[in-house]
Amino acid sequence: MKRGDLSNLAWGAALLVLAALLPLTGDGYLISLGVTIAMYTVLATSWALFSGPTHYISLATAAFFGVGTYVTGAGIDHLPYWTLLPIAAVVGGVLAALVGLATLRLSGVYFVIFTLGLAEMTRQVVTWYQNKTGHKGTYVLTDLTDNDIYWQLVALAGLVFLIGWAVGRSRLGFALRIIGDDEDVARHVGINTALSKVALFIVSGAVAAVVGAIIAPRYVYIEPSTAFTPMLSFQVVIMALLGGTGRLWGPLVGVIPFTLLWEAISSSFPNQTTLLLGLSFLAIVYLLPGGFVGLWDRVKHRSARRRALA
Amino acid sequence: MTAVVKLSGATKQFGGLVAVDNVSFEVQEHQVLGLIGPNGSGKSTTLNLISGALPVTDGDIALRGREITGLPAREIARKGVARTFQLVRLLPSMNVVENVMAGAVFGHRRRWGASAERHAKHVLETVGIADKARSHVSQLTYIDTKRVELARALAGEPEVLLLDEWLAGLNPTELTEGIDLIHRLRDEGRTIILVEHVMDAIRSLCDACVVMSSGKKIAEGSTEAVLSDPEVIRAYLGDDDA
């Protein structure tokens, strides 16, 4: 391990501890905002682990997330809460593996549409099942507070960053970057492209399901239209791209401003949130192709060149 | 002695078109084999069959006596077949040494970490662009992009190297450099199959040639003999000139 790595790890740990101190403020609004930010940080970062290097845009986040909330919803009366998180991870991972094996041979827009369709289909299946059994939704009653949910999400964020850091330094991470650049070249240098992609897709699917399982108690009452809302998938993509997927911490710098803006807009103009989504997307396409990370890199590059010339 | 690469009746059909028609030939260790013929004769397709970019319709391909027919490209690469592409394909988000490391990390002989980087730099020296290891690939001249691609193929220490018109598109000065470079690889004792149009290169580099026309093998033998074969001349120039 190099010295730079150690200092990065130390910085990461320190920031995580700092984030974990937020509930000490005792401010309910801040903590609730913290939960939202932590949730999207985990979702966007794990999304970027797969979609960042490979450029495969997945809109299946809502499917994994929803499945996770339903694991908690269905299991909370029968099993101890702590066993539900690993179960959600396994269920999300298996779903991701199945989807991955079926779709990762598809390229570009076909993959995007399929993942969007998958989320919708999962929602329809759950709705159908609930209608058949005469329920509309499920109650999730626990004594978990916002603080507990927040700490779980912060811990999960720490885990995701650790996984991302390890993958970035591994052969697998290098393989994914090559796949993202040119899949034909990847195959011809000897990379098992399908296996590499599925492996990372499983990680991001499992993480999204665990987030759903953790968040479920906050919803108290879950029904398919909230658990599988396609809006979630779009928000995750926009936040990750806004921050930039070129660095592990990129999505985080997209999540924070976006969530704050979203909160501000939805409290005063509740009907205009979709507009924010659209404008952010335009901003990414026209102004910030590499997200905030790309902007930062360009500024740094330019000032370095100016210094070299001076 | 078993051949490094052996094709037996390799055939590739695209719908009604037979692009490669029952082609058989062998490449021996340390041999440089030229795969030549007029445009559209099936040379590149043959190379694609060997590297696994396309599956054969019929026939067998063996690497050192072991069949590789029907294997996916990644496994053929691991078993020791490396290639360059007719249109250069580099990894645009990476610098030169990372491009070459792709071959060193996942190829036939696999390395990782500092060892992979050392090896990649060593290969860059072999192809003559060690000084550009940290350059971004978008800053390279045309021949340098070709060098990087060649280095990536060499970095996995393949049993056989497939060069698909590696010399095409170079200007006269670059062409001399390019031929010299392949000559050095030949002197190192590498086994190479090259698809080529540049006659000077074929004459000076190839020990033997296989000539294809309309998907069929029409001649095979030492370069000199093949190039003076009337049928080969007819295939290239048409009946009137033969």
CATH number, domain of A136, equals: 1.10.3470
Instruction: Give the residue with greater pLDDT, B24 vs B240.
Output: B24
Choosing among B48, B68, B71, B74, which should be mutated to test the A contact, i.e. which has the most A CBs within 10 A? B74
**A280: nearest Cα among A268, A292, A294:** A292
**ipTM of predicted complex:** 0.93
The pLDDT of B7-25, averaged and rounded, is 95
Instruction: Give φ, ψ of A137 to 5 degrees.
Output: -150, -170
B25 against B235, higher pLDDT: B25
Count the domains in chain A: 1
Tokens of residue A54, six digits: 């490979």
Contacts of A174 in chain B (CB under 8 A): 101-102, 105
- Residue B105 touches chain A, beta carbons under 8 Å: yes
Burial of B183 (0-12, 13-18, 19+ CB in 10 A): middle
Distance, CA of A143 to CA of A146 (rounded, Å): 10
B74 vs A contacts (CB less than 8 Å) = 186-188, 190-193
Counting as low any pLDDT under 50, the low residues of chain A are: none
User: B149 vs chain A: nearest CA distance in angstroms?
Assistant: 10
- Helix, strand, coil tally for chain B in percent (to 5): 40, 25, 35
Q: What is the pTM of this model?
A: 0.90
- A236: distance to nearest CA of chain B, Å? 24
pLDDT digits (tens, 9 = 90+) for B84-96: 999 999 999 999 9
In this predicted model, what pLDDT tens digit does every residue of B181-210 receive, in sequence order?
999 999 999 999 999 988 889 999 999 999
| Residue B152 sits at the chain A interface (C-beta within 8 Å) | yes
Q: What is the DSSP letter of B9?
A: E
- Delimit the domains of chain B by residue range: 1-80+159-242, 82-158
Cβ neighbours for A67, distance < 8 A, ≥ 6 positions apart: A88, A91, A92, A95, A122, A209, A212
Q: Which residues of A touch B101 (CB under 8 A)?
A: 174
Chain A residues in contact with B94 by the CB 8 A cut-off are: 177, 181
- Please check whether residue A190 touches B, CB under 8 A: yes
pLDDT band at residue B242 under the 50/70/90 scheme:
very low
Q: What is the pLDDT of residue A107?
A: 72
Q: A245: distance to nearest CA of chain B, Å?
A: 13
For A156, the domain range is 3-309
What does CATH list as the number for B1-80+159-242? 3.40.50.300
Our measurement of the distance from residue B229's CA atom to the centroid of its chain's CA atoms, rounded to an integer in Å, reads 24
Query: pLDDT tens digits, residue range A223-265?
Result: 898 899 989 999 999 999 999 988 899 999 999 999 998 888 8
Measure CA B101 to chain center. Answer: 19
pLDDT of amino acid A26: 87
Alpha carbons A213 and A144: distance in angstroms, whole number: 12
Q: Would you state the pLDDT for residue B73?
A: 96
Per-residue confidence (pLDDT) for residue A172, from 0 to 100: 96
A171 in contact with B, Cβ within 8 Å: yes
Tens digits of per-residue pLDDT, B82-129? 999 999 999 999 999 999 999 999 999 999 999 999 999 999 999 999
Across chain A, where does the E strand assignment appear?
A: 138-139, 221-222
Q: Which residue has the higher pLDDT, A176 or B235?
A: A176
Cross-strand partners of B12: B20
Residue B26: is its pLDDT beyond 50?
yes
Q: What is the pLDDT of residue B192?
A: 96
Mean pLDDT of chain B: 93
